[in-house]
Chains A and B, each alone.
Chain A
Amino acid sequence: MKFFFHAGQYFSLLYRVFSKPEKHRMYFTKIFTEIESLGINSVGIVAIISIFMGGIMTLQVAYNMENPIFPTYLVGLGNRDTLILEFSSTIMGLIMAGKIGSNITSEIGSMKVTEQIDSLEIMGVNSAAYLILPKIIAVVCIFPFLFILSVFFGLIGGLIVGPAVGAVTAADYLNGIQYLFVPYYVTYSIIKTLCFGFLIATIPAYFGYFVEGGAFEVGAASTKAVVNTNIMILVFDLILTQLLL
């Protein structure tokens, strides 16, 4: 029952978000600040996590294939496909839901409880569109780039760690990451990231926009937002994988 209530309220909020904006120029400037604060500022953490995870996955694939039947270039291939298919899209999505999602909920939620949203409304500004639309555009635009960056750094991570511990030679690894490459996997994952980007911008925005109370409630809403975004990401991962692969 509660789910349907939230779903209804969520879609009516989206309807307001996508209604005609007052002044386009105000939105444009806002999109760029959002791209910076939500997107560019996430590049660092994406790079660090991807390098480490790329390295770790390379090692794990190598340990699981110590049998000489398997050619060692499969290590590179394994790392590449894991990154493209699941890690850089879904797992990154889950991590970004934590970072970006909690940021969005707490920002919009604080504006709600300090009556800044009421201030916008009283001026005649569509607060839903003004606050949320630039975030959606920014996150959806930036996510495919973060995905590509994550794949890139993940591959680098494998290239550093694999040869360093002697699990695979650099030549075999580089050979492996080019072997049997399926471009459609990239398309599939980019579609996923666009979808996840939309969820990561809108679900936390929804939880922030309807928060009532004070700092405590904003904190609780942030947690709820991240948990619910994560669940929806996994649900959509399942649906899209079934549909697209």
Chain B
Amino acid sequence: MIEVKNVYKSFDQKEVLKNISTLFYKGKTNLIIGRSGSGKTVLLKAIVGLHEVDSGEILYDGRDFTRMGQKERKGLRREMGMVFQGGALFDSMTVEENVRFPLDMFSEMSIAEKQKQVDFCLDRVNIKGAHQLYPSEISGGMQKRVAIARAISLNPKYLFCDEPNSGLDPETALLIDDLIHDITLDLDITTIINTHDMNSVMEIGEQILFISEGEMCWTGNKEEILDTENQKLQEFVFANKQYQQVRDEKRRNNPEKI
């Protein structure tokens, strides 16, 4: 479980995060949603310490990350895996070398053990026959999957994904969402996902935090989101007309709930 308490962050004079407090649960896919520019990436990077927060606490199962020294942080980072928006694979290395890199750096495994783990991770994300290719030689969807494989190679306890399905076609996007959801359940880890995509929200939104202009506006889950009374969230959700129909259908089916 990751607990965020009263986090503030500004760049120069611009306040990007304003008093964010929330919980991210273990074994669940926790979503941070909001429009582009609302501060999702900054929040995620603040949680993992790539941005220093101005004030507030970030507790990893009770351990306060913001008060840790460099050495402790490095230790905790071994328990984290992160998938960046563009994949961020090392483009001078092959797919296989990318996944093996964290093992080479931090594990004491033998070569054979490493190879087994690499094969296992790539298999887990359904990458076949691309082990020796370079990131520029594979599709965007594959790059994201390799990035997921790399993020889970050291068996993390916490997985962070920044818009894992942006720039992908709807079908591939859905595959990636399901993959992350399955991995979260399999490994029983705390997963936080940034997204602005309502399809993802309805697919894997087990726990949702909605932020708008750096302020937290709403928390809940995918069952509750369509019935929200929050003005800003309604604008976000029903920007896609399709979800108005979904809501109306739902209300027609259980009229007593309204």
Give residues in A with beta carbon < 8 Å to B: 22-23, 26, 111, 114-116, 118-119, 121-125
Asked, given contacts A124-B74, A124-B77, A124-B78, whether A119 binds B88 with beta carbons under 8 Å apart, the answer is yes
Which chain B residue has the least Cβ–Cβ distance from A113?
B86
Determine if B104 is an interface residue (Cβ-Cβ < 8 Å).
yes
Kindly identify which residue among B73, B77, B80, B84 contacts A115, using a CB–CB cutoff of 8 Å.
B84
The distance in angstroms between the C-alpha atoms of A119 and B90, with both chains bound, is 9
Asked, given contacts A124-B74, A124-B78, whether A118 binds B84 with beta carbons under 8 Å apart, the answer is yes
Q: Specify which chain B residues have a CB less than 8 angstroms from the CB of A22 in the assembled complex.
A: 105-106
A122 touches B50 (CB 8 A): yes
Give residues in B with beta carbon < 8 Å to A: 45, 48, 50, 73-75, 77-78, 80-82, 84-86, 88-91, 101-102, 104-106, 154, 160
Kindly identify which residue among A23, A111, A116 contacts B105, using a CB–CB cutoff of 8 Å.
A23
The distance in angstroms between the C-alpha atoms of A173 and B73, with both chains bound, is 65
Which chain A residue has the least Cβ–Cβ distance from B77?
A124
The distance in angstroms between the C-alpha atoms of A195 and B74, with both chains bound, is 33
B105 touches A119 (CB 8 A): no
8 A-B pairs with the lowest CB-CB distances in the bound complex, closest first = A124-B77, A115-B88, A115-B84, A124-B74, A119-B88, A122-B82, A116-B88, A123-B102
19 sampled A-B residue pairs with Cβ under 8 A = A23-B104, A23-B106, A114-B88, A114-B91, A115-B84, A115-B88, A116-B88, A116-B91, A118-B50, A118-B84, A118-B88, A119-B88, A119-B90, A121-B50, A122-B48, A122-B80, A123-B101, A123-B154, A124-B75
The distance in angstroms between the C-alpha atoms of A211 and B117, with both chains bound, is 35
Q: Specify which chain B residues have a CB less than 8 angstroms from the CB of A125 in the assembled complex.
A: 105
The distance in angstroms between the C-alpha atoms of A23 and B101, with both chains bound, is 12
The distance in angstroms between the C-alpha atoms of A124 and B77, with both chains bound, is 5
B105 touches A123 (CB 8 A): yes
Which of A121, A122, A125 has most B Cβ within 10 Å?
A122
Q: How far is the CB of A22 from chain B (nearest CB, A)?
A: 6
B91 touches A123 (CB 8 A): no
The interface residues of chain B, by DSSP majority, are classed as mixed
Q: Specify which chain B residues have a CB less than 8 angstroms from the CB of A111 in the assembled complex.
A: 90
Q: Specify which chain A residues have a CB less than 8 angstroms from the CB of B101 in the assembled complex.
A: 123
Q: Specify which chain B residues have a CB less than 8 angstroms from the CB of A121 in the assembled complex.
A: 50, 77
Q: How far is the CB of A15 from chain B (nearest CB, A)?
A: 12
Which chain A residue has the least Cβ–Cβ distance from B85?
A115
The distance in angstroms between the C-alpha atoms of A184 and B82, with both chains bound, is 55
The distance in angstroms between the C-alpha atoms of A111 and B106, with both chains bound, is 21
The distance in angstroms between the C-alpha atoms of A119 and B105, with both chains bound, is 13
Kindly identify which residue among A115, A119, A124 contacts B106, using a CB–CB cutoff of 8 Å.
A124
B84 touches A119 (CB 8 A): yes
A123 touches B106 (CB 8 A): yes
A114 touches B106 (CB 8 A): no
Which chain A residue has the least Cβ–Cβ distance from B84?
A115
The distance in angstroms between the C-alpha atoms of A240 and B181, with both chains bound, is 62
Which chain A residue has the least Cβ–Cβ distance from B90?
A116
The distance in angstroms between the C-alpha atoms of A162 and B98, with both chains bound, is 54
Q: How far is the CB of B213 from chain A (nearest CB, A)?
A: 22
Q: How far is the CB of A36 from chain B (nearest CB, A)?
A: 13
A26 touches B82 (CB 8 A): no
Q: Specify which chain A residues have a CB less than 8 angstroms from the CB of B75 in the assembled complex.
A: 124
Q: How far is the CB of B138 from chain A (nearest CB, A)?
A: 15
The distance in angstroms between the C-alpha atoms of A111 and B84, with both chains bound, is 13
The distance in angstroms between the C-alpha atoms of A124 and B76, with both chains bound, is 8
Q: Specify which chain A residues have a CB less than 8 angstroms from the CB of B91 in the assembled complex.
A: 114, 116
Q: Specify which chain B residues have a CB less than 8 angstroms from the CB of A124 in the assembled complex.
A: 73-75, 77-78, 105-106
Q: How far is the CB of B104 from chain A (nearest CB, A)?
A: 6
Q: How far is the CB of B230 from chain A (nearest CB, A)?
A: 32
Asked, given contacts A115-B85, A116-B88, whether A122 binds B105 with beta carbons under 8 Å apart, the answer is no
Q: How far is the CB of A137 from chain B (nearest CB, A)?
A: 18
Q: Specify which chain B residues have a CB less than 8 angstroms from the CB of A115 in the assembled complex.
A: 84-86, 88
Kindly identify which residue among B77, B89, B160 contacts A123, using a CB–CB cutoff of 8 Å.
B77
Q: How far is the CB of A118 from chain B (nearest CB, A)?
A: 5
Q: How far is the CB of B82 from chain A (nearest CB, A)?
A: 5
The distance in angstroms between the C-alpha atoms of A26 and B81, with both chains bound, is 20
Q: Specify which chain B residues have a CB less than 8 angstroms from the CB of A118 in the assembled complex.
A: 45, 50, 82, 84, 88
Q: Specify which chain A residues have a CB less than 8 angstroms from the CB of B154 in the assembled complex.
A: 123
